[in-house]
Structure formats: structure tokens, C-alpha cells
Amino acid sequence: MRWCEHWDKMKRVRSKFVDVLRLHVRGGAGGMGLPRLGGVGGAGGDVYVEGKEGHSLLKLCKAQPDQQWVGAAGMDSYKYRICGEAGAELIIPVPTGTTVWLEQHQKLLGEINCAGDKVLVA
């Protein structure tokens, strides 16, 4: 096997393994309230990272290529419903053994060691 053929084969093999993945997450926006009626808008949805068996970072990368995850928006309050409903939470499945870091501050948010472990990221 020539060197260039070997290099092309190694590039394909390496592209199927993802060790580090950067996600851009944002919690959902809160709903608008009706101040004249004392209404309160619903809270925005939270974003969690949860451990799942059989998942990989490569699957996550293929599922959402732009890697932007946004929680659901809270509902507005209106005349007949003074308190708006909270937005649904968004759960991002990741493989077990994942460590979650806050990139800007180099802060450890949590580790996911077992299936079902959840870490709040936004």
C-alpha cells in the first residue's frame, strides 16, 4: 500500500470518531406578561444534557450539524390566563462518560457517568 492511499484511509477512519464537541446552547425566552392585569409570562425552557446508552458524539453531530440548541419559549399571558405556561425543556442525548465544560470560564458543569444522568447547561 502506498503512503498516500494509507493516509486517505486513515483520514476516513479518523473522521468517524468524535472525541470533543462544542455545542452552542441557549435557554428559551420567557413569555410576555400583562402588567395591567398582573399577568406573568411563562419561564423559558431549560436545556439539559442527558446520558443515553447507544449514543455517540458523531450521531449528535449528524443530528444537528450547526450544533445550535435552543430551549422552547415560554407562553405569553393573556386576558383569560394570567400566568403563562413554562416552555418545554430540551434534552440533548450524549454518550455516558461525557464531561460537560463551560468553555468561556473553563468551568466544569458536570459529568455524565451513567445513563439517565442529567446536567443543566442553559
In a domain, 102, yes or no: yes
* CATH code for position 67: 2.70.210.12
In a domain, 68, yes or no: yes
In a domain, 98, yes or no: yes
In a domain, 79, yes or no: no
Pairing relationship of beta strands 107-112 and 98-102 according to DSSP bridges: antiparallel
Residue numbers of the domain that contains 56: 22-29+45-72+88-120
Count CA within 13 A, CB hemisphere, residue 114. Answer: 2
Q: Into how many domains does the chain fold?
A: 1
In a domain, 110, yes or no: yes
In a domain, 58, yes or no: yes
Rounded to an integer, the average pLDDT of 59-70 is 79
Q: Name the pTM for this structure.
A: 0.75
Per-residue cell: 4: 498516500
In a domain, 103, yes or no: yes
Spatial separation of the C-alpha atoms in residues 61 and 78, rounded to whole Å:
39
Can you give the pLDDT at residue 39? 83
Spatial separation of the C-alpha atoms in residues 103 and 86, rounded to whole Å:
28
Spatial separation of the C-alpha atoms in residues 49 and 91, rounded to whole Å:
6
pLDDT digits (tens, 9 = 90+) for 99-119: 888 877 788 888 888 898 899
Rounded to an integer, the average pLDDT of 83-89 is 87
